[in-house]
Structure 1
Amino acid sequence: MKSNNKPTVLLAGATGYLGGYIATILSQEQIATKLIARSPQKLKALESKTVKIIQAEVTKPNTLINVCEGVTTVISTIGITRQKDGLTYMDVDYQANLNLLNEAKRAGVKKFIYLSAISGNKYRHLKIFEAKEKFVDVLKLSGLEYTILRPNGFFSDMKDFLQMAKRGRVYLFGKGEQKFNPIHGEDLAIVCLQAIDSHKSEIIVGGPDVLTFNEISEMALETLQKPIKICHLPDWSRRFLIWTLRTFTSSKTYGPIEFFLTLMADDHIAPRFGTRRLRHFFRENAAHN
């Protein structure tokens, strides 16, 4: 018979970048886990004595009925960077997470762990953050114990530098001296698991290396054995591009670009964690492409 202090976790978003790493660790640690997915066959390989796959869609509350029965902790990495299927940020980042929270409350779940992003509250005027932080507001008032994870950029987002490097030149706004420390999904998954037993209501985290955009650009070019060619565009062009996109395109188009361009303007240094280096990530991805 299981002891009462062992968690039973429900993970939403297991088919995504970070969710995949979290699901793998939950499986490896043999933690009793329910993985919900719109397409369960994508997670079939993870099914085991401790891992159960459930078909459900967080955007459809009727499919979530009873999914949280027996669950002590819900982890949600549900969110969209690029809108698709006609769904908006409010449909997914806010409403879908709210559907899950309502079911968690009904089932007596103790804790809800939610993935937002660094400086989310400061930038809640951005379309992506508007929906995420609206959910954070509700979660804080839910009565459940909660932890909000606020990671710095993901390594996966840094692939854009490799794509530019492949074409022989990297373009940056301003002087390129803004600093940040992106984190690998595998390291962030460890932080997420640690959050199950943590009493922190918010965890801000980044990777082990604090880097400037110039350093990341050089790293990408060196990885592909290209000459160091970095073009620094004036910062007004970054602001003008954001204004143009907001004025002439839909949030579906400008949302992710507005997010990246806004955060590129300042330093974002989070407490350092992990062992995985961006240089190694670039090498792995360059080898696979």
Structure 2
Amino acid sequence: MKPTNVLVAGATGYLGKFITQELIEKGYETKIIVRNKEKIKMNAPNLNILEAQVTKPETLKDICKNIDVVISTVGITRQKDGLTYMDVDYQANVNLIDEAKKHGVKKFIYISVLNGEKLRHLKICEAKEKLVDYLKQSGLEYCIIRPNGFFSDMGDFLKMAKSGKVYLFGNGKLKLNPIHGKDLAKEIVGTINQEKKEINIGGPDLLSQNEIAELALKAYGKPKKIVHLPDWIRKFVLWSMRTFTSSKTYGPIEFFMTTMVMDMKSPLFGQEHLKDFFIKEVNNK
């Protein structure tokens, strides 16, 4: 029997909104978990909005009743409100998995990060991969989606391009293919009826960091000015951040600066192009 009842956790985030919209359009009976119903603008006959906090297991009681599939995008980029990566990326999702098991949920879909297993030494990835381990041992059918970055993550290129110069570490030849949330949501919803356990995924355009920098500069109508910094500067910044600040500050920077010198190529998916996204972002400012 094709699953029809889907619960989305993290539905108010960047990716969660696209997933919810895709589920509604595909005709799934969709439930979303939110902190405050009043702030939700979405409305559809097959959408049910539930108030709960994933970090507080007592609020999740019976939330998975009559649910076939849970999709979780729950996670934080920056630690705030006194919550750590372990509190949110790990424990909040554990709360969901435990509740899903109680009610016989058929499948749990979790969105992690590309190369997460190689990046366990980073604070963000440590929590995500600990959760992946927990999910694999839960007894639930599962699928772990590993995107290599969203278009929105490329905002740092645009910020630099606005000033007329983009700074890169190394020669800028490493390639990646970030994906738009809309495209990723389609693929995630498509996994509901697939048997794959882990999926690496990226957008349709495989670009070097130099090419991404050029696209950002072109979006602002700026000439090509890319400065390649020696890697010792990156290593020194990382060391300084880890030594003199807390993980609340260095967590996101640590992740960004580590992946900047990694091959982040993924299988190509989607229809949305980074060039168009950059132009749209600049025009909307």
TM-score (structure 1 length as normaliser): 0.97
Shift of 1:7: 2.1
1:169 is displaced (CA, Å) by 0.9
**1:108 maps to 2:95:** no
Structure 1: stretches of 5+ with no match in the other structure: none
Q: Does 1:231 align with 2:223?
A: no
Matched pairs, number: 285
3-state SS of paired residue (2:199): strand
2:81 aligned with 1:82, yes or no?
no
1:23 pairs with 2:10: no
Taking only the aligned residue pairs, the percentage that are identical comes to 58
For residue 36 of structure 2, the aligned residue among 36, 39, 52 is 39
Determine the structure 2 residue equivalent to 1:262: 258
* Aligned counterpart, 1:12: 9
State the secondary structure of the residue aligned to 1:175: coil
Among 194, 197, 207, the alignment partner of 1:198 is: 194
Structure 2 residue 123 is matched with structure 1 residue 127 = yes
Whether 1:278 and 2:274 are equivalent positions in the alignment is yes
Distance across 2 between alignment mates of 1:83 and 1:191: 28
* 2:2–2:193 Cα contact (<8 Å) kept: no
Alpha-carbon deviations, 1:66-117, whole Å to 9, x = none? 1100000000000001111111000000000001111101111010000000
SS in 1 for 2:71: strand
Equivalent runs, 1:45-60 vs 2, <5 Å? 45-60=41-56
| CA displacement, residues 21-42 of structure 1 (integer Å, 9 cap, x when unaligned) | 0011111122101100112223
Instruction: Please report how far the alpha carbon of residue 230 of structure 1 lies from its aligned counterpart in structure 2 after TM superposition.
Output: 1.1
Partners of 1:48 and 1:173 in 2: CA distance: 46
Asked if the contact 1:47–1:53 (Cα under 8 Å) also holds between the matched residues in 2, the reply is no
TM-score normalised per structure 2: 0.98
Provide the C-alpha distance between the structure 1 equivalents of 2:228 and 2:47, rounded to a whole number of angstroms. 49
Contact kept in structure 2, 1:94 and 1:134, CA below 8 Å: yes
Query: 1:227, 1:272 → 2: CA distance?
Result: 29
Give the residue type in structure 1 aligned to 2:250: Y
SS of the equivalent of 1:53 reads: strand
CA RMSD, 1 decimal: 0.9
